Amino acid sequence: MYGDDNKKEVARVKKMITEKFKSKREREIAIELKDLKNEQEQIRNNKTLCCPHCEKRTQIKKLTIVDAHHYIRPYSCTGGDYWTFSDEYYVICPKCDSAIRTYLGSWDYSTPYEEKKKEEQDRIKRYHFLHKFHQFFGERLNMYKDGGITSIDLDKLRDEKKAAEERNRY
Protein backbone atom coordinates (compact mmCIF):
# COMPACT_ATOMS: atom_id res chain seq x y z
CA MET A 1 0.00 0.00 0.00
CA TYR A 2 2.67 2.49 1.00
CA GLY A 3 4.81 1.49 -1.98
CA ASP A 4 1.96 2.30 -4.37
CA ASP A 5 1.47 5.73 -2.77
CA ASN A 6 5.20 6.41 -3.02
CA LYS A 7 5.26 5.42 -6.72
CA LYS A 8 2.29 7.66 -7.44
CA GLU A 9 3.95 10.60 -5.70
CA VAL A 10 7.23 10.05 -7.58
CA ALA A 11 5.33 9.90 -10.89
CA ARG A 12 3.40 13.06 -9.99
CA VAL A 13 6.61 14.97 -9.15
CA LYS A 14 8.34 13.79 -12.35
CA LYS A 15 5.36 14.90 -14.41
CA MET A 16 5.30 18.27 -12.65
CA ILE A 17 9.02 18.84 -13.25
CA THR A 18 8.74 17.75 -16.88
CA GLU A 19 5.81 20.12 -17.44
CA LYS A 20 7.73 22.99 -15.81
CA PHE A 21 10.65 22.65 -18.23
CA LYS A 22 8.52 22.37 -21.35
CA SER A 23 8.43 25.39 -23.60
CA LYS A 24 5.17 27.17 -24.28
CA ARG A 25 5.06 25.67 -27.80
CA GLU A 26 5.58 22.14 -26.42
CA ARG A 27 2.64 22.63 -24.05
CA GLU A 28 0.48 23.93 -26.91
CA ILE A 29 1.39 20.92 -29.06
CA ALA A 30 0.61 18.54 -26.19
CA ILE A 31 -2.85 20.11 -25.83
CA GLU A 32 -3.43 19.89 -29.60
CA LEU A 33 -2.36 16.22 -29.60
CA LYS A 34 -4.76 15.48 -26.76
CA ASP A 35 -7.58 17.20 -28.64
CA LEU A 36 -6.77 15.26 -31.83
CA LYS A 37 -6.75 11.95 -29.93
CA ASN A 38 -10.15 12.78 -28.45
CA GLU A 39 -11.44 13.65 -31.93
CA GLN A 40 -10.05 10.38 -33.30
CA GLU A 41 -11.81 8.45 -30.50
CA GLN A 42 -15.08 10.21 -31.36
CA ILE A 43 -14.73 9.38 -35.06
CA ARG A 44 -14.03 5.72 -34.26
CA ASN A 45 -17.03 5.60 -31.90
CA ASN A 46 -19.29 6.89 -34.66
CA LYS A 47 -18.31 4.21 -37.19
CA THR A 48 -21.22 2.09 -38.34
CA LEU A 49 -21.72 -1.55 -39.26
CA CYS A 50 -24.28 -2.71 -41.82
CA CYS A 51 -26.30 -5.79 -40.86
CA PRO A 52 -26.35 -8.27 -43.77
CA HIS A 53 -29.78 -9.53 -42.64
CA CYS A 54 -31.84 -6.31 -42.35
CA GLU A 55 -29.34 -4.09 -44.26
CA LYS A 56 -29.61 -1.32 -41.65
CA ARG A 57 -26.60 0.55 -40.28
CA THR A 58 -25.90 0.88 -36.56
CA GLN A 59 -23.13 2.76 -34.74
CA ILE A 60 -20.66 0.30 -33.25
CA LYS A 61 -20.89 2.01 -29.86
CA LYS A 62 -24.50 0.73 -29.71
CA LEU A 63 -23.66 -2.86 -30.68
CA THR A 64 -22.77 -5.93 -28.63
CA ILE A 65 -19.79 -7.97 -29.81
CA VAL A 66 -19.16 -11.50 -28.60
CA ASP A 67 -15.69 -13.10 -28.83
CA ALA A 68 -15.88 -16.85 -29.36
CA HIS A 69 -13.33 -19.06 -27.58
CA HIS A 70 -12.84 -22.78 -27.95
CA TYR A 71 -11.26 -25.37 -25.70
CA ILE A 72 -8.01 -27.15 -26.54
CA ARG A 73 -8.23 -30.60 -25.00
CA PRO A 74 -5.20 -32.00 -23.16
CA TYR A 75 -2.76 -33.93 -25.30
CA SER A 76 0.59 -35.55 -24.53
CA CYS A 77 2.12 -34.80 -21.15
CA THR A 78 2.15 -31.01 -21.27
CA GLY A 79 -0.06 -29.83 -24.12
CA GLY A 80 -3.56 -28.44 -24.27
CA ASP A 81 -6.08 -27.91 -21.47
CA TYR A 82 -6.73 -24.21 -22.17
CA TRP A 83 -9.18 -21.86 -23.90
CA THR A 84 -8.16 -19.83 -26.94
CA PHE A 85 -9.74 -17.16 -29.17
CA SER A 86 -11.34 -18.79 -32.22
CA ASP A 87 -10.81 -15.90 -34.68
CA GLU A 88 -14.59 -15.65 -34.64
CA TYR A 89 -16.85 -12.75 -33.65
CA TYR A 90 -20.60 -12.51 -33.25
CA VAL A 91 -22.27 -9.12 -33.45
CA ILE A 92 -25.85 -8.82 -32.27
CA CYS A 93 -27.93 -6.47 -34.44
CA PRO A 94 -30.33 -4.54 -32.17
CA LYS A 95 -32.70 -3.81 -35.05
CA CYS A 96 -33.43 -7.36 -36.23
CA ASP A 97 -32.00 -9.23 -33.19
CA SER A 98 -29.91 -11.52 -35.36
CA ALA A 99 -26.35 -12.65 -34.76
CA ILE A 100 -23.84 -11.74 -37.44
CA ARG A 101 -21.12 -14.40 -37.46
CA THR A 102 -17.77 -13.25 -38.74
CA TYR A 103 -14.67 -15.39 -38.81
CA LEU A 104 -11.35 -15.30 -40.57
CA GLY A 105 -11.51 -18.88 -41.82
CA SER A 106 -8.73 -20.72 -43.52
CA TRP A 107 -6.85 -18.35 -45.74
CA ASP A 108 -6.11 -19.82 -49.16
CA TYR A 109 -3.07 -17.87 -50.29
CA SER A 110 -3.10 -19.51 -53.73
CA THR A 111 -6.22 -17.48 -54.65
CA PRO A 112 -5.79 -13.69 -54.70
CA TYR A 113 -8.24 -11.72 -52.58
CA GLU A 114 -9.74 -10.01 -55.63
CA GLU A 115 -10.64 -13.39 -57.18
CA LYS A 116 -12.52 -14.63 -54.12
CA LYS A 117 -16.32 -14.67 -54.07
CA LYS A 118 -17.98 -11.43 -52.98
CA GLU A 119 -19.49 -13.12 -49.87
CA GLU A 120 -16.05 -14.30 -48.80
CA GLN A 121 -14.51 -10.86 -49.41
CA ASP A 122 -17.28 -9.26 -47.33
CA ARG A 123 -16.74 -11.75 -44.49
CA ILE A 124 -12.97 -11.13 -44.44
CA LYS A 125 -13.45 -7.32 -44.56
CA ARG A 126 -16.02 -7.49 -41.75
CA TYR A 127 -13.67 -9.64 -39.63
CA HIS A 128 -10.79 -7.18 -39.99
CA PHE A 129 -13.11 -4.25 -39.28
CA LEU A 130 -14.36 -5.92 -36.07
CA HIS A 131 -10.82 -6.86 -35.04
CA LYS A 132 -9.53 -3.31 -35.56
CA PHE A 133 -12.42 -1.49 -33.85
CA HIS A 134 -13.13 -4.15 -31.21
CA GLN A 135 -12.54 -1.80 -28.28
CA PHE A 136 -15.09 0.77 -29.48
CA PHE A 137 -18.14 -1.50 -29.26
CA GLY A 138 -20.71 -0.66 -26.62
CA GLU A 139 -20.60 -4.07 -24.95
CA ARG A 140 -17.97 -6.79 -25.26
CA LEU A 141 -18.65 -10.32 -24.07
CA ASN A 142 -16.74 -13.60 -24.19
CA MET A 143 -18.35 -16.89 -25.14
CA TYR A 144 -16.71 -20.19 -24.32
CA LYS A 145 -17.97 -23.08 -26.42
CA ASP A 146 -16.87 -26.69 -26.35
CA GLY A 147 -18.94 -27.80 -29.32
CA GLY A 148 -21.12 -26.24 -31.97
CA ILE A 149 -23.18 -23.17 -31.23
CA THR A 150 -26.95 -23.26 -31.44
CA SER A 151 -27.84 -19.88 -29.94
CA ILE A 152 -26.30 -16.98 -28.06
CA ASP A 153 -27.79 -16.21 -24.65
CA LEU A 154 -26.69 -12.62 -23.97
CA ASP A 155 -28.14 -12.57 -20.46
CA LYS A 156 -26.13 -15.67 -19.52
CA LEU A 157 -22.94 -14.19 -21.01
CA ARG A 158 -23.52 -10.94 -19.10
CA ASP A 159 -24.01 -12.87 -15.85
CA GLU A 160 -20.80 -14.83 -16.47
CA LYS A 161 -18.90 -11.59 -17.14
CA LYS A 162 -20.27 -10.03 -13.96
CA ALA A 163 -19.35 -13.13 -11.91
CA ALA A 164 -15.80 -13.12 -13.36
CA GLU A 165 -15.40 -9.43 -12.50
CA GLU A 166 -16.57 -10.13 -8.94
CA ARG A 167 -14.03 -12.98 -8.60
CA ASN A 168 -11.22 -10.80 -9.95
CA ARG A 169 -12.07 -7.91 -7.65
CA TYR A 170 -10.80 -9.75 -4.57
Give residue 106's pLDDT band: very low, low, confident or very high (50, 70, 90). Answer: low
What is the overall mean pLDDT for the chain?
83
| Average pLDDT for 83-87 | 85
Residue 98 confidence (pLDDT) above 70: yes
| CA 107 – CA 81 distance, rounded (Å) | 26
Share of the chain above pLDDT 90, in %: 2
Check: pTM over 0.85? Answer yes or no: no
Tell me the β-bridge partners of 79: 75
Phi, psi of 105 (to 5 degrees): 75, 180
| CA 7 – CA 1 distance, rounded (Å) | 10
Give residue 107's pLDDT band: very low, low, confident or very high (50, 70, 90). Answer: low
